[in-house]
């Protein structure tokens, strides 16, 4: 348990605390991931407790298929091989000697939103609804630099990325994406990547489904066709109502969620309330977010609160004067390609009930006349 000091009645009358090796979160703030202790599953980010756009590293969601791997950076190697002129075996030290890049982007699990779509109920928090998306500043080496160092041979078109965890998770990534903006990241929000997020190195593919952002990265194999790994065949494929399936649906479509007011908040008084939330798109920048307080009958443009970066969480805000009526709050994101976040009815028509990934329909929160806020409605 961290030391929790009592707040003095008047902090100007006694000296403050001495410094500590780690500047801990205020003892009055207690955000946490949920559920804790999962072996093979997901720990969601408490979106309702965050401000701005960056997810603190210790609150970045975690999704692991067979536990959190603990890798010794002194022994870890990233092997680059396959259709290359010069196979490489790169240590963590070697990786840090290459020229680096830093960029902010979201990572969203392809299954984010599943519970709210499949089993909606009023008592869902933003963390429950959409807590498998997080936004970090990632630092590392462009995958293109490593692939050029290895010398990609003609005829190559895909790269198999593999993790060194007990899941040995592997995915095939189009070579074009790897050469465009993929990063082999060793740092997250200014410090080494957290253990659960792939220490000592992970793949970051801006805008692509989280599953492809291989953590604990140990191998990049240049190949001339997709590997057809378990996670790109048996999983991460979407059955459609017409009996066909969507496979290789890499890019995350535009989406948004209101994080406040949301369950379990309770509006204590009539008057002005900021409707605040996050919007993001795997296809580029968010260009507009509309907010409705009447269940989609009418919409108003929200403001952007901070940086609007491509493939990154964007914070929107809309000041709402609540007069005590029952209200249904919704947000609708539009990205720079002109793509508009679909309504739930549209989404259901196109994707059906068997769909298992890429849930980006518009969601709602209901504010009751007494101020209680619940999911859906």
Site residues, ligand MTE (CB under 6 A): 60-65, 107, 109, 134, 163, 165, 167, 169, 196-198, 210-211, 213-216
Pairing of strands 77-82, 217-223: parallel
Q: Smallest gap, in angstroms, from Cβ of residue 197 to ligand MTE?
A: 4
Q: Smallest gap, in angstroms, from Cβ of residue 67 to ligand MTE?
A: 8
Structure tokens at 136: 């970090």
Measured distance CA(144)–CA(141) in Å, rounded:
8
Closer by beta carbon to ligand MTE, 114 or else 283: 114
Structure tokens at 202: 């992970």
Closer by beta carbon to Mo ion, 46 or else 210: 210
Closer by beta carbon to ligand MTE, 39 or else 345: 39
Closer by beta carbon to Mo ion, 208 or else 273: 208
Number of DSSP helices (H) and strands (E) in the chain, helices first: 6, 23
Residue 115's φ and ψ, nearest 5 degrees, are -60, -45
Closer by beta carbon to ligand MTE, 138 or else 320: 138
Measured distance CA(319)–CA(239) in Å, rounded:
40
Which residue of the chain is nearest Mo ion when measured via CB? Answer: 109
Choose among 206, 208, 224, 209: nearest CA to 158.
224
Measured distance CA(308)–CA(30) in Å, rounded:
28
Structure tokens at 162: 């593999």
Q: Smallest gap, in angstroms, from Cβ of residue 212 to Mo ion?
A: 9
Q: Smallest gap, in angstroms, from Cβ of residue 346 to ligand MTE?
A: 25
Choose among 259, 363, 197: nearest CA to 47.
259
Query: Quick one: what does residue 163 bind among Mo ion, ligand MTE, none, with the CB cut-off 5 to 8 Å set by partner type?
Result: ligand MTE
Q: How many CB atoms lie within 10 A of CB 211?
A: 22
17 CB burial (10 A radius; 0-12, 13-18, 19+)? exposed
Query: Quick one: what does residue 133 bind among Mo ion, ligand MTE, none, with the CB cut-off 5 to 8 Å set by partner type?
Result: none
Choose among 197, 177, 175, 187: nearest CA to 103.
187
Closer by beta carbon to ligand MTE, 332 or else 358: 358
Q: Smallest gap, in angstroms, from Cβ of residue 141 to ligand MTE?
A: 18
Residues near Mo ion, by CB under 5 A? 63, 109, 210-211
Choose among 246, 297, 273: nearest CA to 367.
273
Q: Smallest gap, in angstroms, from Cβ of residue 113 to Mo ion?
A: 12
Closer by beta carbon to ligand MTE, 215 or else 315: 215
Which residue of the chain is nearest ligand MTE when measured via CB? Answer: 163
Query: Quick one: what does residue 216 bind among Mo ion, ligand MTE, none, with the CB cut-off 5 to 8 Å set by partner type?
Result: ligand MTE
Structure tokens at 58: 């210790």
Q: Smallest gap, in angstroms, from Cβ of residue 215 to ligand MTE?
A: 4
Query: Quick one: what does residue 60 bind among Mo ion, ligand MTE, none, with the CB cut-off 5 to 8 Å set by partner type?
Result: ligand MTE
């Amino acid at each position: 348990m961290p030391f929790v000091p009592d707040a003095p009645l008047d902090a100007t009358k006694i000296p403050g605390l001495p410094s500590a090796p780690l500047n801990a979160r205020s003892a009055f703030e207690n955000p946490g991931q949920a559920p804790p202790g999962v072996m093979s599953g997901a720990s969601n980010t408490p979106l309702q407790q965050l401000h701005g756009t960056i997810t603190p590293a210790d609150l970045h969601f975690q999704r692991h298929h067979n536990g959190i791997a603990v890798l010794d950076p002194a022994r870890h190697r990233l092997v680059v091989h396959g259709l290359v002129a010069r196979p490489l075996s790169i240590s963590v030290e070697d990786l840090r000697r290459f020229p680096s890049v830093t960029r902010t982007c979201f990572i969203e699990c392809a299954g984010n939103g599943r519970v709210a779509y499949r089993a909606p109920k009023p008592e869902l928090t933003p963390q429950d609804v959409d807590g498998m998306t997080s936004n970090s500043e990632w630092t590392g080496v462009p995958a293109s630099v490593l692939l050029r160092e290895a010398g990609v041979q003609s005829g190559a078109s895909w790269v198999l990325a593999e993790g060194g965890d007990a899941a040995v998770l592997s995915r095939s990534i189009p070579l074009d994406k790897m050469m465009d903006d993929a990063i082999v990241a060793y740092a997250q929000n200014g410090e080494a990547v957290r253990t659960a997020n792939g220490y000592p190195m992970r793949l970051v593919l801006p805008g692509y489904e989280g599953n492809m952002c291989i953590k604990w990265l140990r191998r990049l194999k240049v190949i001339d066709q997709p590997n057809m790994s378990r996670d790109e065949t048996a999983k991460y494929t979407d059955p459609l109502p017409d009996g066909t399936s969507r496979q290789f649906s890499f890019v995350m479509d535009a989406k948004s969620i209101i994080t406040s007011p949301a369950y379990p908040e309770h509006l204590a008084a009539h008057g002005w309330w900021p409707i605040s939330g996050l919007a993001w798109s795997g296809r580029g920048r968010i260009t507009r977010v509309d907010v409705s307080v009447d269940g989609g009958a009418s919409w108003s443009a929200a403001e952007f609160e901070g940086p609007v970066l491509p493939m990154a969480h964007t914070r929107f805000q809309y000041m709402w004067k609540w007069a005590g009526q029952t209200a249904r709050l919704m947000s609708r994101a539009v990205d720079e390609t002109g793509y508009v976040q679909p309504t739930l009815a549209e989404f259901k028509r196109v994707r059906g009930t068997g769909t298992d990934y890429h849930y980006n329909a518009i969601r709602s929160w209901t504010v009751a006349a007494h101020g209680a806020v619940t999911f859906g409605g």
